[in-house]
């Protein structure tokens, strides 16, 4: 009964284990009702192996044992014959070594042997991961467990503890038969142990109905030396939207020689916008190996930064100490719309935990792939922007936020009503190339325009020029003289502008008329106009 009391105490993690306890299966012999319940290392009497069984209407039982190589029931030798005089009988094997693989079977008269039960033998060795504060535990599987094995619990205590506590549990695979090779072991790496401590470990096997338990022998290991357990500094320095609308995450770490083995990137899988840190739900999406560097870069392509915030954090996995976690940071999310004919309202936000008050931001417009600053802003600022100074750039306004660290937001594009200007006259023989052809100067004209038509008539109403292709705007301050000349020439060659000829002949000087029409803002609106101009020769 000592062992039963001991099992109840270890299940509550409230007793001092002096030696290792190993509990094996119970087997029912149908023909005589004999049940071998468990085989254990007695923790009270110097780690002697104890057998325990139930019986029904049996006078005596024979006990058979085999050590190590036991793949045949003929290898089992009878080691005792026990008179049965009570409902639950225990027997201690004084000759067995609990650090050897002992297999037991019982029999009655000519009934044959029951399926064997074995003791788990736990070993401890220095871990092969190179860490001072980790050890490798290994033990043989527990066979023939009643109701099948479910999991193994890893229990431990230090030299300063009086009780064992659960460190971890791992799933167990059930094995049946007379023998399972001790060479096939279950392994568990116990990591992050305290420096300069003596540890004791024991393994507990649990069946699927949580009714049977088995404990291994106790093993002892002393951690010598000091593992560097200082935290690794990990910082997400920049979360930036790239040209193809993926998100780039820049990470910096400290200068430890081996600060970690892997960096794991996590992204919030809930559906923000801005929310408290405790509401975030992270899922691991990517990883990078340590590369003797303190700068790393992830690219997240499965995002749409034009529609929402994405929160990120990074965890550094280290085999020799607990993992370290970075700050949490989101992309810069820019939104806005047109509030008046040539006025826009824009707003942006970025979330960071812990919050940083050192961030500064610039509201910029993107012109020919170059950023031009509009104003300096603080986070969550609403800004109304007059766009009339930007009309000469020849397209709808494209906004972008840039942080002091160089992080970029998504690009916000706001379309405006086109501004159409015509010269009063043109002179094909002018020394200035921009005056040599006639065409509309289109401002805020973008790719969304459709059904473009530009027609020129002489004074008698005869059509002398027609094009369905709008000309490029060639007079932005960002274009050099050479680029301007090339742009004008391209408009002429692509038949976007009129050079003053008709059917290969020069038209006479005088007054001519034009008509222009097109749809803009994805066909929602229509523009049309007409007027006259002078051809000078």
Lowest mean pLDDT among 57-61, 124-128, 152-156: 57-61
Is the pLDDT at 31 greater than 50, yes or no? no
Residue 280 CA to residue 198 CA, distance in Å, equals: 40
List CB contacts of 50: < 8 A, sequence separation 6 or more.
3, 39, 40, 41, 42, 90, 91, 92, 93
Residue 219 CA to residue 21 CA, distance in Å, equals: 11
Q: Give me the pLDDT at residue 448, please.
A: 54
Detail the DSSP E strand segments found in 261-354: 262-268, 282-289, 295-300, 311-317, 324-325, 328-330, 333-340, 343-349, 352-353
Is the pLDDT at 12 greater than 80, yes or no? no
Is the pLDDT at 2 greater than 60, yes or no? no
Looking at per-residue pLDDT, the higher value among 64 and 182 belongs to: 64
Is the pLDDT at 20 greater than 50, yes or no? no
Q: Give me the pLDDT at residue 181, please.
A: 81
pLDDT band at 16 (very low <50, low <70, confident <90, very high): very low
Note the pLDDT tens digit of each residue in 265-289: 999 988 766 678 888 999 999 999 9
> What's the CATH class of domain 333-414?
mainly beta
Residue 289: both structure tokens together? 């190996």
Note the pLDDT tens digit of each residue in 230-251: 788 899 999 999 988 999 999 9
Q: Return the top range by mean pLDDT from 110-119, 373-382, 429-438, 497-506.
A: 497-506
Q: Give me the pLDDT at residue 36, please.
A: 63
The CATH T-level fold of domain 234-330 is Immunoglobulin-like (2.60.40)
Q: Give me the pLDDT at residue 274, please.
A: 65
Residue matched to tokens 């619990």 = 153
Residue matched to tokens 């020769």 = 537
List CB contacts of 204: < 8 A, sequence separation 6 or more.
10, 152, 153, 155, 213, 214, 215, 216
> What's the CATH class of domain 1-226?
mainly beta
Percent residues over pLDDT 90 in the chain? 47
- Average pLDDT value for residue range 472-484: 80
Q: Give me the pLDDT at residue 278, please.
A: 83
Note the pLDDT tens digit of each residue in 155-174: 999 988 889 999 999 999 99
pLDDT band at 403 (very low <50, low <70, confident <90, very high): very high
Q: Give me the pLDDT at residue 18, please.
A: 30
Q: Give me the pLDDT at residue 534, please.
A: 96
Residue 142 CA to residue 173 CA, distance in Å, equals: 9
- Which residue ranges make up each domain of the chain? 1-226, 234-330, 333-414, 419-535
Is the pLDDT at 484 greater than 50, yes or no? yes
Residue 399 CA to residue 401 CA, distance in Å, equals: 7
Residue 58: both structure tokens together? 């049996």
The model carries a pTM of 0.61
Arch. (CATH architecture) of 419-535: Sandwich (2.60)
First to last CA, the chain: 122
Strand partners, 398: 413
Q: Give me the pLDDT at residue 29, please.
A: 36
Residue 115 CA to residue 41 CA, distance in Å, equals: 19
Q: Does 234-330 match 333-414 in CATH topology?
A: yes
Q: Give me the pLDDT at residue 215, please.
A: 87
Environment class of residue 344 by beta-carbon count within 10 Å: exposed (0-12), middle (13-18) or buried (19+)? buried
Residue 374: both structure tokens together? 């509009």
Is the pLDDT at 8 greater than 60, yes or no? no
Q: How far is CA 90 from CA 2, 49, 65, 525, in A?
A: 10, 10, 16, 95
């Amino acid at each position: 009964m000592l062992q039963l009391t001991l099992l109840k105490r270890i299940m509550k993690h409230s007793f001092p284990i002096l030696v290792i306890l190993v509990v094996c299966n119970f087997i029912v012999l149908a023909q005589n009702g004999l049940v071998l319940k468990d085989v254990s290392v007695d923790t009270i009497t110097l780690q002697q192996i104890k057998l325990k069984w139930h019986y029904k209407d049996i006078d005596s039982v024979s006990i058979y044992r085999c050590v190590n190589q036991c793949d045949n029931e003929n290898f089992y030798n009878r080691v005792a014959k026990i008179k049965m005089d009570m409902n639950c009988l225990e027997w201690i094997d004084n000759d067995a070594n609990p650090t050897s693989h002992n297999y037991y079977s019982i029999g009655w008269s000519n009934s044959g042997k029951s399926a064997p039960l074995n003791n788990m033998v736990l070993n401890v060795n220095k871990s092969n991961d190179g860490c001072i504060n980790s050890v490798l535990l290994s033990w043989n599987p527990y066979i023939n467990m009643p109701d099948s094995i479910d999991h193994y619990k890893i229990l431990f205590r230090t030299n300063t503890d009086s009780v064992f506590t659960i460190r971890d549990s791992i799933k167990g695979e059930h094995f049946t038969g007379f023998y399972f090779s001790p060479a096939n072991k279950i392994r568990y790496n116990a990591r992050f142990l305290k420096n300069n401590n003596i540890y004791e470990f024991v393994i507990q096997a649990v069946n699927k109905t949580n009714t049977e338990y088995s404990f291994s022998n106790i093993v002892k290991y002393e951690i010598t030396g000091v593992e560097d357990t200082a935290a690794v500094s990990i910082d997400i320095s920049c979360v930036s939207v790239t040209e193809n609308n993926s998100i780039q995450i820049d990470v910096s770490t400290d200068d430890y020689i081996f600060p970690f083995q892997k960096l794991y990137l996590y992204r919030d899988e809930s559906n923000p916008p801005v929310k408290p840190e405790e509401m975030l739900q992270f899922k691991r999406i990517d990883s990078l190996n340590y590369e003797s560097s303190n700068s790393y870069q992830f690219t997240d392509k499965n995002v749409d930064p034009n529609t929402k915030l994405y929160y990120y954090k990074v965890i550094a996995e280290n085999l020799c100490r607990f993992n370290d976690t970075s700050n949490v940071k989101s992309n810069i999310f820019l939104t806005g719309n047109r509030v008046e004919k040539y006025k826009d309202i824009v707003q942006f936000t970025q979330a960071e935990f812990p919050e940083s008050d050192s961030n500064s931001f610039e509201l910029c417009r993107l012109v020919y792939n170059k950023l031009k600053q509009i104003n300096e802003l603080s986070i969550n600022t609403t800004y109304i922007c007059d766009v009339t100074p930007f009309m000469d750039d020849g397209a709808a306004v494209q906004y972008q936020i840039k942080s002091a660290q160089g992080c970029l937001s998504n690009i916000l594009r706001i379309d405006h009503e086109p501004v159409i200007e015509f010269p009063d006259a043109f002179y094909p023989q002018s020394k200035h190339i921009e005056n040599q052809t006639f065409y509309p100067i289109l401002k805020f004209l973008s790719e969304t325009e459709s059904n473009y038509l530009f027609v020129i008539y002489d004074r008698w109403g005869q059509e002398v020029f027609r094009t369905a292709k709008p000309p490029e705007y060639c007079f932005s301050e960002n274009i050099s003289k050479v680029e301007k000349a090339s742009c004008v020439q391209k408009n002429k060659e692509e038949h976007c502008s009129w050079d003053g000829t008709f059917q290969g002949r020069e038209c006479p000087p005088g007054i001519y008329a034009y008509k222009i029409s097109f749809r803009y803002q994805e066909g929602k609106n229509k523009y049309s106009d007409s007027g006259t101009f002078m051809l000078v020769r």
